[in-house]
């Protein structure tokens, strides 16, 4: 296999046209090419007068001949797991988010039939519950944006980017593609799936796992753990289930489970996280800032990722959703929580992103491992009151936020949050270190994205669930201080998005399988 890197293409071409383009550019004989792969595609928009695509291509040729400007590479090989596990107990997985699903896939593909517990609904019923909250203000505390098949990431942009450098990244992408994701995720520089595709994909994964003997228990919350001599021997849901292997793939909002584990002396610690708001702009303004207005390419809705380092705090944008909406993400009564969501097409009017400020354990009022949860909950309850105590979210124009005054009108950017919004002053509920850092960041980000401090841009409060406020301690074998209990994924504090959570699920299952 040979690879061509940094191939600049200044027009929109399909796969066959790209092969023709490469053959012409590199003087290749098309009939000699046995296999052709697009390995990477990115957009170079540094010069807005000359935007182009940057490609990496891999070829397998029928016979060797002198080819210039390429490198020889080995074809990727998936690592085989050497299964040494001798237990006859079926492993129990708590949670069906990315960590739980990819842990289950790894088990099932190696002949082990897991049992997956999910307190929420199957994904189709879950969509109905989310819509009922959005349209009728009826919140199901067990099945919502945070809980249910697919986890919190199901109602997001479905980003498959990660800051970790892992050989498992390609494996995760290939599995998502196998279960219904668009082929483009295999090579786009910033792949995403979209909530519409995720709904279908998690259902396909479930059908596959069940077809090979895996077992799902929906609408069944695990309320207790059976521990004997510092070893887990089972869990308690609607009845008692016994196993010597329990994977904690719980999400970052599983507050009742964290409390139960703390009461059972499972070692955990508070960890840093971030809080803030969602900020919305018109997508056309983001496009213009990032791409200019001269390119004839069919460019996707533009994204951004920004960081500001202040004197004492940092602020950053997170989970940016081009052409998306701000979604009601509460999982408890009397709380307002926001998140962002996009479909695969990203074709709606607004762009939104979390605008967050880092929070450290020293900011918490109490000194125990779950104090970060209390910090989150207090802010969410204040947002509920400020919004009118009916699940309307408190919103504010950026100009008014910067000048510390109540908003009295909506301008050119209309908020997308449902079931509704209330014009307020978010400075009244945000900690001063958060609001002050956000203000500095907004001015700074405007230097990077022209119009970021647009007076009519909308802030919607609050975003508090960007990551887990708790870390459940585990050793190099992914095991907690309770033998047989394996913390895994974003909730226990070991991942930060769909991709890293899925990888953690694979690695956790691999470790369990490779130990006797």
Using the Cα atoms of residue 170, residue 172, residue 178 and residue 183 in order, give the sign of their dihedral.
Answer: negative
pLDDT at 114: 98
Cα–Cα distance for residue pair 293/281, rounded to 1 Å: 18
Cα–Cα distance for residue pair 414/390, rounded to 1 Å: 20
Helices 169-178 + 98-108 axis angle, to 10 = 80
Positions of the chain with pLDDT under 70: 64-66, 75-78
Q: Does the N-terminal peptide bond of residue 74 adopt cis geometry, omega within 30 degrees of 0?
A: no
Q: 118 in helix, strand or coil?
A: strand
Helices 98-108 + 195-211 axis angle, to 10 = 30
Residue found under tokens 């293409």:
9
Which whole-number Å values give the CA distances from 467 to 272, 442, 452, 495, 496, in the listed order? 9, 22, 24, 8, 6
Cβ atoms of residues 106 and 100 within 8 Å: no
pLDDT at 1: 85
Mention every residue, 6+ apart, whose C-beta is less than 8 A from residue 19: 30, 33, 36
The two tokens of residue 247 are 């994977």
Local structure of residue 185 (DSSP, 8 states): G
Residue found under tokens 């990551």:
467
Residue found under tokens 């095991």:
479
Cα–Cα distance for residue pair 302/284, rounded to 1 Å: 9
Give alpha helix (H) positions in 84-225.
98-108, 123-136, 169-178, 195-211
Which whole-number Å values give the CA distances from 330 to 130, 141, 271, in the listed order? 10, 8, 22
Cβ atoms of residues 319 and 338 within 8 Å: no
Local structure of residue 343 (DSSP, 8 states): -
Cα–Cα distance for residue pair 453/397, rounded to 1 Å: 10
Strands 52-61 and 2-9: antiparallel
Cα–Cα distance for residue pair 173/191, rounded to 1 Å: 9
First to last CA, the chain: 38
pLDDT at 352: 98
The two tokens of residue 469 are 């406020």
Q: 514 in helix, strand or coil?
A: helix
The two tokens of residue 335 are 């709380």
The two tokens of residue 451 are 């119009």
Cα–Cα distance for residue pair 269/361, rounded to 1 Å: 10
- Beta partners for residue 33, in sequence order: 61
Nearest CA to 347 among 293, 283, 303, 288? 283
pLDDT at 70: 81
Nearest CA to 491 among 276, 338, 273, 342? 273
Q: 340 in helix, strand or coil?
A: strand
Helix (H) / strand (E) containing 292: none
pLDDT digit string, tens, across residues 27-54: 999 998 999 999 999 999 999 999 999 9
pLDDT digit string, tens, across residues 444-490: 999 999 999 999 999 999 999 999 999 999 999 999 999 999 999 99
- For the chain, which domains are there? 2-72 (3.30.70.2700), 92-270+469-514 (3.50.50.60), 273-463 (no CATH)
- Could you tell me what percentage of the chain is helix, strand and coil, using 3-state DSSP and rounding each to the nearest 5? 30, 25, 45
């Amino acid at each position: 296999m040979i690879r061509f890197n940094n191939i600049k293409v200044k027009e929109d071409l399909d796969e066959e046209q790209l092969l023709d383009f490469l053959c012409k550019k590199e003087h290749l004989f098309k009939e000699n090419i046995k296999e052709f792969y697009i390995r990477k595609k990115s957009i170079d928009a540094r010069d807005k007068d000359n935007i182009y695509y940057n490609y990496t291509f891999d070829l397998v040729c029928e016979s060797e001949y002198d080819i210039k400007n390429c490198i020889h590479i080995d074809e990727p090989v998936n690592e085989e797991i050497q299964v040494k596990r001798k237990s006859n107990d079926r492993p129990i997985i708590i949670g069906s988010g990315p960590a739980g699903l990819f842990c289950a896939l790894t088990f099932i593909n190696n002949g082990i039939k897991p049992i997956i517990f999910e307190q929420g609904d199957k994904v189709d019923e879950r969509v109905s519950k989310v819509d009922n909250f959005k349209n009728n203000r009826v919140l199901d505390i067990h099945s919502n944006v945070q809980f249910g098949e697919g986890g919190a990431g199901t109602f997001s942009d479905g980003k498959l980017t990660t800051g970790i450098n892992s050989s498992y990244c390609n494996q995760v992408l290939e599995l998502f593609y196998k279960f219904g994701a668009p082929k483009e995720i295999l090579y786009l520089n910033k792949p995403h799936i979209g909530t519409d595709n995720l709904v279908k994909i998690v259902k396909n994964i479930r059908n596959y796992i069940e077809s090979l003997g895996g077992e799902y228990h929906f609408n069944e919350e695990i309320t207790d753990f059976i521990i004997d001599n510092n070893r887990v021997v089972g869990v308690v849901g609607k009845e008692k289930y016994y196993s010597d292997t329990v994977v904690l793939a719980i999400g970052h909002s599983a507050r009742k489970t964290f409390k139960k584990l703390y009461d059972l002396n499972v070692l955990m610690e508070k960890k840093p996280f971030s809080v803030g708001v969602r900020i919305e702009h018109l997508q056309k303004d983001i496009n213009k800032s990032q791409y200019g207005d001269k390119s004839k390419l069919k460019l996707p809705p533009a994204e951004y990722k920004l960081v500001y380092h202040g004197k004492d705090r940092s602020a950053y944008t997170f989970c940016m959703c081009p052409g998306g909406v701000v979604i009601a993400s509460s999982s408890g009564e009397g709380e307002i929580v926001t998140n962002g969501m996009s479909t695969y097409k990203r074709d709606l009017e607004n762009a939104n992103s979390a605008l967050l400020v880092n929070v450290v354990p020293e900011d918490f009022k109490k000194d125990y491992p779950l104090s970060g949860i209390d910090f989150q909950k207090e802010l969410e309850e204040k947002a509920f009151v400020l919004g009118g105590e009916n699940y309307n979210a408190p919103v504010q124009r950026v100009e008014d936020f910067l000048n510390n005054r109540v908003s009295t009108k909506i301008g050119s950017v209309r908020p997308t949050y449902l079931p509704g919004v209330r014009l307020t002053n978010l400075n009244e509920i945000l900690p001063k270190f958060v609001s002050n850092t956000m203000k500095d960041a907004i001015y700074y980000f405007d230097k990077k994205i022209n119009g970021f401090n647009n007076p009519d841009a909308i802030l919607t409060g609050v975003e508090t669930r960007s990551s887990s406020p708790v870390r459940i301690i585990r050793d190099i074998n992914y095991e907690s201080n309770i033998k047989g209990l394996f913390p895994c994924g974003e909730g226990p504090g070991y991942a930060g998005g769909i991709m890293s959570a899925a990888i953690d699920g694979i690695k956790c299952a691999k470790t369990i399988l490779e130990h006797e």
